[in-house]
Amino acid sequence: MLELEKVDSFYGNSHILHQVSFAIPSGSFTAVVGRNGMGKTMLLKTIMGLTDRVRGSLLLNTHPLTPLPTHCRAKAGLAYVPQGREIISQFTVKENILMGCYARLDGKKKMPELALELFPYLKDNLNRRAGLLSGGQQQQLAIARALAAKPAVLLLDEPTEGIQPNIVEQIEQAITRLNQDFGLTIVLVEQNIAFARRAAQQFIMLNNGAIAAKGSIHELSDELVHRYMAV
């Protein structure tokens, strides 16, 4: 259970999240939607402790996250796949994946079999330099790295943005399977409403850094989408 209670978050002098409260049950799939610049990425960064200042309470399985620095939050079970992948381009595919293991509590260096099964391209190119991979392959790599940490909660920021269609489908299937077959809690920032409706159980709609609507995914009506997301 990931709980946010009246969270305000700041980046420098700008107040980017206003009184955000919600609860994400273990094993659930939550889609965070909204226009660009409404605070979706900042919400994930706030959960990872990457913003400058936070008020309010963040709890993971009733343990407070607020006092923990980012690397301890990773060890507490949060894994983050950022927008733009941010893989280490000088490392090989294998080194990138194993990097996720620094967040494992047992400290073991083990390749996540599941991730290699989901993304066979990675399995066949373990010794390739990650910088040489295409955008879609790097995205798969970033997800594999997050899985290497054996996380409890996976935070994904627009994982299919700007990626060629055949890989988009592979990534969407992988994310859905991770939740349905392996019970991983997923928080997905997504612009693609169709995918959010297919995969998620609940949604959070952000508008100007505050929650505009939230609830079960069936309540994400066309009217809501039109009001908060039409450009």
15 is an interface residue for other proteins by CB under 8 A: no
Dihedrals phi, psi of 162, to nearest 5 degrees: 65, 35
Binding-site string for other proteins from residue 134 to residue 153, where x marks contact by CB under 8 A and - marks none: -----------x---x----
Dihedrals phi, psi of 44, to nearest 5 degrees: -65, -40
126 is an interface residue for other proteins by CB under 8 A: no
Q: Helix, strand, or coil here: 137? A: helix
Query: Could you tell me where the beta strands, DSSP code E, fall in the chain?
Result: 2-11, 14-24, 29-33, 53-60, 63-64, 78-81, 153-157, 185-189, 202-207, 210-216
Task: Tell which residue, 218, 217, 227, has the closest CA to residue 32.
Answer: 217
Tell me whether residue 92 or residue 208 sits nearer to other proteins (CB atom): 92
75 is an interface residue for other proteins by CB under 8 A: yes
Tell me whether residue 98 or residue 229 sits nearer to other proteins (CB atom): 98
Please give the size of the binding site for other proteins, defined by CB under 8 A.
Answer: 24
* Shortest separation between residue 116's beta carbon and other proteins, angstroms: 18
Binding-site string for other proteins from residue 181 to residue 210, where x marks contact by CB under 8 A and - marks none: ------------------------------
Q: Helix, strand, or coil here: 104? A: coil
* Shortest separation between residue 158's beta carbon and other proteins, angstroms: 16
Helices (H), 87-221: 93-99, 113-118, 120-124, 135-148, 165-180, 193-199
Q: Please, which of residues 86-125 interact with other proteins by CB under 8 A?
A: 86, 88-91, 95, 99-100, 102-104
Q: 133 to each of 140, 142, 211, how far by Cα in Å?
A: 10, 12, 37
Candidate residues 74, 156, 205, 213; the one interacting with other proteins per rule CB under 8 A:
74
From CA 179, how far away is CA 183, in angstroms rounded?
A: 5
Dihedrals phi, psi of 9, to nearest 5 degrees: -135, 145
Tell me whether residue 108 or residue 226 sits nearer to other proteins (CB atom): 108
The total number of residues shown for the chain amounts to 231
* Shortest separation between residue 51's beta carbon and other proteins, angstroms: 11
* Shortest separation between residue 227's beta carbon and other proteins, angstroms: 33
Candidate residues 6, 55, 71, 227; the one interacting with other proteins per rule CB under 8 A:
71
User: CB within 8 A of 25, min separation 6: which ones?
Assistant: 1, 185
Tell me whether residue 35 or residue 104 sits nearer to other proteins (CB atom): 104
Provide the binding-site residues for other proteins, judged by CB under 8 A: 48, 50, 69-71, 74-75, 79-80, 82, 86, 88-91, 95, 99-100, 102-104, 131, 145, 149
